[in-house]
Amino acid sequence: MLLLAGTTISVFGQEVKEKTESEGKFDASTFILDHIADSHEWHILTKKNGDNVEIYLPVILYSKEKGLDIFSSKKLADGNEYKGYKIEEEGDLQGKIVSVNKEGTVDEKNLPLDLSMTKAVIGMLSAAIIGLLLFLSLSRSYRKSGISHPKGIQSFLEPVILFVRDDIAIPNLGHKYEKYMPYLLTAFFFILINNLMGLIPFPPPFGANVTGNIAVTFVMATCTFLITQFSGNKTYWKHIFAAPGVPFWLLPIMIPVEIIGLFSKPFALMIRLFANITAGHIIVLSLICLIFIFNSLSIAPVSILFVIFMDFLELLVAFLQAYIFTLLSALFISMAVQENH
Amino acid sequence: MILLANNLVTPGVGTIFWSVLIFILFLLILSKFAWKPILSAVKARDEMIKGSLESAAKAREEMLKLQSDNETILRKAREEREGILKEAREVRDKLISEAKGKATEEADKLIEKARTGIENEKLKALSEIHEQVATLSVDIASKLLGEKLKPSGKQAKLIDNYLKEIDFNKN
């Protein structure tokens, strides 16, 4: 944990120092949002002379006129133009890839479809690969040891799997839990691994803000939404379109409310995960920025202490958010599959 | 900053695309190759533990039942033994008392027989004595009277009368 906080401070600190020195002033909010937002390259450090050491990630673009283009984001570095594309540096579209006309102006109405493997995508992919390695080896050890007592990696992961089963799935879903276990387990560990990897600032692929990316939480919440709707039984739909005990003249009000309720539940899932993780990252980054805002080394111990504290808190939040997302998913599914009230 | 923040809460199409791809693949691969075997192994273990506990409880119950059965059998055997012993004692007592009774009866009978025998012998002896005495008396009388009395007729009758008056049992 100390190591985690230490790396966090040294990695970001050094970067901020170099940036400040090269640019002369320090803008904390830009710095923080730069780190939280997705990007086409993975920044490692900025040298004293202002050069950036970065991992350039693949850019994949599709537009009607030019078709599919795949190239390294190095071609677009420092505002360079390549194949009629460039990364917009300011304005509404800052950070996005835009098409450039022959005259050299940005075509704002005709944005290319950006399917690039950004920092968040690489982070997510790495988390998925780590998860696959972890659980495939776990399943292999189960196949090998049969039903004997858990040992090695099993004794570490089995309690978590049993926790998801006994404390999330079974209390909510009852005897129907088995059907939804794969999704609940996958969601839990996907979020958990991404949260934990996001806490570790260095080296890549750690430190990407994956679960704090609204697109990722949107996809996960949509999965829960779709599973909920597709497992909805007669009682569930009846409650939405003809809630028992509600007078018929109230239905024109109740039906829209219920339909909004359908969407607000996964929407809350999406926002909760996104906001919690993003907020945690913002706090840690802000605490580090304090050193540079005060421009004094004497604030560093305070900063470090707070960052250590926040990292502990974030570690808790990483587990907590994975738990809450899975628990609420199970709860929403259970509302759709329960027989009657 | 607000614009950047706005960017932050607008889901990017590319990220959505990759998230769907990665998450669905992750879900499918794990479901098939990890969760299924893991969950079934855990379930099998749970069931085995449950089954073992149940069978252990059943065995314990059976053992207790056997124990109580044994006890009842032992108690019954003890009771039976006691019953048999009691019966034997009764039979013995009865046999003894029967034997005793029979023996007494027999002895009484023997004594009775002996007594009647003695009585008969006595009567016989007495009648013999009667005769002897009669003869003797006649002899004595004839000697005394000088004439031989005939052991019949008037004299014999008279002697008999005299003799009857004498009670032999008196002495």
Q: Do B12 and A146 touch (CB under 8 A)?
A: no
Handedness of CA B45, B48, B54, B60 (dihedral sign): negative
Q: Does the structure show a pLDDT above 70 at A1?
A: no
In the chain, the amino acid numbered B29 is I
Helix, strand, coil share of chain B (percent; to 5): 90, 0, 10
Residue of A nearest to B47 (CA): A147
pTM, rounded to two decimals: 0.75
The arithmetic mean of pLDDT across residues B75-98, rounded, is 93
Alpha-carbon distance A27 to A1, whole Å?
A: 28
Beta strands in A21-88 (DSSP E): 41-46, 52-56, 58-63, 67-72, 85-87
pLDDT given at position B3 = 46
The whole-angstrom distance between B58's CA and the closest CA on chain A is 23
d(CA A100, CA A315): 44
Distance, in Å, from the CA atom of A40 to the CA atom of A73, rounded to the nearest integer, reads 6
pLDDT value of position A113: 81
What average pLDDT is seen over chain A? 82
**At residue A46, what is the residue type?**
T
Across A266-289, b (16+ Cβ under 10 Å) vs e yields beebbebbbebbbebbbbbbbbbb
A159 touches B at CB < 8 Å: no
| Structure token digits, residue B102 | 């029979």
Q: Is B5 near chain A, with CB under 8 Å? A: yes
| Class of residue A59 by CB neighbours under 10 A (exposed 0-12, middle 13-18, buried 19+) | buried
The minimal CB distance from B37 to the residues A95, A131, A143 is found for A143
Average pLDDT over residues A196-205: 84
Lowest-confidence segment of A118-132, A253-267, B73-87, B125-139 by average pLDDT: B125-139
Residue B95 has pLDDT above 50, yes or no: yes
pLDDT, tens digit, 9 for 90 and up, residues A38-75: 788 787 777 777 777 778 888 888 877 777 878 887 77
Query: What does the pLDDT read at residue B150?
Result: 61
**Banded pLDDT at A17 (limits 50, 70, 90):** low
Which pLDDT score is estimated for B146? 60
Query: Per DSSP, what are the bridge partners of residue A71?
Result: A59
Q: What is the rounded CA–CA span in Å between residue A281 and residue A307?
A: 10
How many residues does this entry show for chain A? 341
In contact, A126 and A69? CB cutoff 8 Å: no
What single-letter amino acid sits at A234? K
Give the pLDDT confidence of B33-86 residue by residue, as tens digits: 888 888 888 888 888 899 999 999 999 999 999 999 999 999 999 999 999 999
What is the ipTM metric for this complex?
Answer: 0.85
Contact A138, A153 (CB under 8 A): yes
pLDDT 10s digits, A288-326: 888 888 877 888 888 889 889 988 999 999 999 999 999
Q: Give the C-alpha separation, A254 to A4, whole Å.
A: 50
> Residue A61: left if φ>0, alpha if ψ -120 to 50, beta else—which one?
beta
> Three-class SS of residue A267?
helix
Q: Do A116 and B14 touch (CB under 8 A)?
A: yes
Task: Name the burial class of residue A246, with classes exposed (0-12), middle (13-18) and buried (19+) by CB atoms within 10 angstroms of its CB.
Answer: middle
Grouping H, G, I as helix, E, B as strand and the rest as coil, residue A140 is helix
User: Where do runs of H (alpha helix) occur along B146-166?
Assistant: 153-165
Q: How far is CA A156 from CA A135, A136, A150, A313, in A?
A: 12, 14, 9, 22
What are the helix and strand counts (H, E) for chain A?
10, 8
Check: CB of residue A202 under 8 Å from CB of residue A182: no
Quick one: pLDDT at residue A133?
Answer: 92
Looking at residue B1, its pLDDT comes to: 43
Distance CA A220, CA B16 (A): 10
Q: Assess whether pLDDT exceeds 70 at residue A25.
A: no
The residues spanned by each domain of chain A are 58-114, 119-337
Measured between alpha carbons, how far is A217 from A276 in angstroms, rounded to an integer?
11
Contact A100, A107 (CB under 8 A): yes
Q: Residue B72's pLDDT is what?
A: 93
Q: Calculate helix-pair angle for A177-199, B36-145, nearest 10 degrees.
A: 130
* Chain A touched by B8 (CB under 8 Å): yes
Q: Determine the average pLDDT of the residues in B141-165.
A: 71
pLDDT of residue A119 exceeding 90: no
Task: Answer whether B138's CB lies under 8 Å from B155's CB.
Answer: yes
Q: Please report the pLDDT score of residue A320 as a whole number.
A: 94
Count of beta carbons in the 10 Å neighbourhood of residue B59: 10
- Separation CA A291–CA B107 (nearest Å): 136
CA distances from A292 to A9, A25, A37, A57, B1 (A): 12, 10, 21, 29, 19
Whether B35 has its CB under 8 Å from any CB of chain A: the answer is: yes
Query: Do β-strands A58-63 and A67-72 pair in parallel, antiparallel, or remain unpaired?
Result: antiparallel
Whether the CB of A131 is below 8 Å from some CB of chain B: the reply is: yes
Among chain A residues, the shortest Cα distance to B8 is held by A37
The encoded tokens of residue A185 equal 């387990």
Instruction: Of A36, A319, A43, give the one whose Cα is nearest residue A203.
Output: A43
Which of the two residues, B11 and B150, has the higher pLDDT score? B11
Cis before A203 (ω within 30): yes
